[in-house]
Amino acid sequence: MTDKSPTRVSINLGSRAYDILIAHKLIEQAGTRLAQMFPNARFGIITDSEVEKAQLPRLVTALEGAGLEYTLISVPHGEAAKCYDRLSEIVDAILEARLERGDIILALGGGVIGDLAGFAAAIARRGMAFVQIPTSLLAQVDSSVGGKTGINSKFGKNLVGAFHQPKLVLADLDVFETLPQRQFASGYAEIVKYGLIDDEDFFFWLEKNLAEILSGGPARAEAIARSCQAKARFVIADEYEQGRRALLNLGHTFGHALEAATGYSDRLLHGEGVAIGMMLAHRFSARMGLAPGQDITRIEHHLQNAGLPTTLSDIPGELASTDKLMHHITQDKKVTRGRLNFILTRGIGKAFIANDVEPDEIGKFLEEMRTK
């Protein structure tokens, strides 16, 4: 153990409560922590081909040092792994390894692995416990927290899944040493999101501390902790996204449509889609007379300084037609009886749920944005 205790963020959900631990060297400590928390359990590590090279040796050393038994299940790296075929492979591998209902699945990876492994844990043997060990910034501040798990469908992103809370989240700050800068920036979009939803002071703090966050100074750990605390607030208040938790989808309806239209490829990472989506949400809000133009300029400047795209024209390659984008938008989970549920805003820190947005208005708006 290190001398400095981890920052702890608690997700207080009664019998489903768990902690997020944030610190350096947490993967090295994983064996000891897991042995104490899950005595006599065996472990199934689910990871991807890139994380397997970068982070798996640290976890294996920790598990073996604590005398823990494990099975390794690895899938190809990338968003395309969030599919029925890979899910089936993982569940079959869990069963083939004779992992029992009382054993533990370890999700070692970014958001894709967390979603995929969590969903596999939710359905294998009708439900197994799992632990999130997120290895990307996006996963540490967003997807590893809150219990959303799932895969993509040909009809859209994350349309098949389950709410399945982890038993523990180990957010190791050392994983960023091997994380490409583009991936780090992608995760940063989710941090900015928390400020834009309902915490104007946090957004201003991010503006002031961006350089230190990007370089790995103390502000980075604080930004992660504050983001996890923000996510915890929404999850505790609305675990199954029946109301206020939907605010966490700021920028995501647009972003998911853009991801689908680019084939869930490296053309557009998830956080990049969210960054463009948040700008589109703010610009559409301004078009509706809701948000002030100066806020839009300020947000765009901050995202660009973080290395994120902000317009449709920033996406490499030919952009899908507006009709294609609208097809993906209307397949989104945030549609009720054909009416669009969008997260709009009245300015920085003033997001709200709009339950009855006209699809035609969104279509006209996207057509205009294609040339800007």
Q: For this structure, is 270 an active site residue?
A: yes
Of 4, 40, 98, 126, the catalytic one is 126
Catalytic residue (choose from 58, 226, 245, 283): 245
Active site residue 231: yes
> Which of 167, 256, 302, 328 is an active site residue?
256
Instruction: Give the pairing type, strands 156-163 and 148-153.
Output: antiparallel
Nearest to 224 by CA among 113, 148, 351, 138: 138
Q: Which position among 231, 282, 302, 334 bears the catalytic label?
A: 231
Going by their DSSP bridges, the two strands 335-336 and 18-23 should be labelled as: unpaired
Tell me the C-alpha distance between 168 and 210, whole Å: 29
Q: Is 241 a catalytic residue?
A: yes
**Catalytic residue list contains 25:** no
Beta bridge partners of 169: 20, 132
Active-site residue, selected from the candidate residues 77, 86, 148, 282: 148
Is 334 catalytic? The answer is: no
Instruction: Answer for the pair 143, 151: CB distance below 8 angstroms, yes or no.
Output: no
Residue 252 known to be catalytic: yes
Angle of helix 293-305 versus helix 270-287 axis, rounded to 10 = 170
Q: How far apart are CA 138 and CA 269, in angstroms?
A: 11
Radius of gyration of the chain (CA): 20
Q: What interhelical angle do 84-96 and 111-123 show, nearest 10?
A: 60
Catalytic residue among 270, 283, 333, 334: 270
The residues assigned a catalytic role are 126, 148, 190, 231, 241, 245, 249, 252, 256, 270
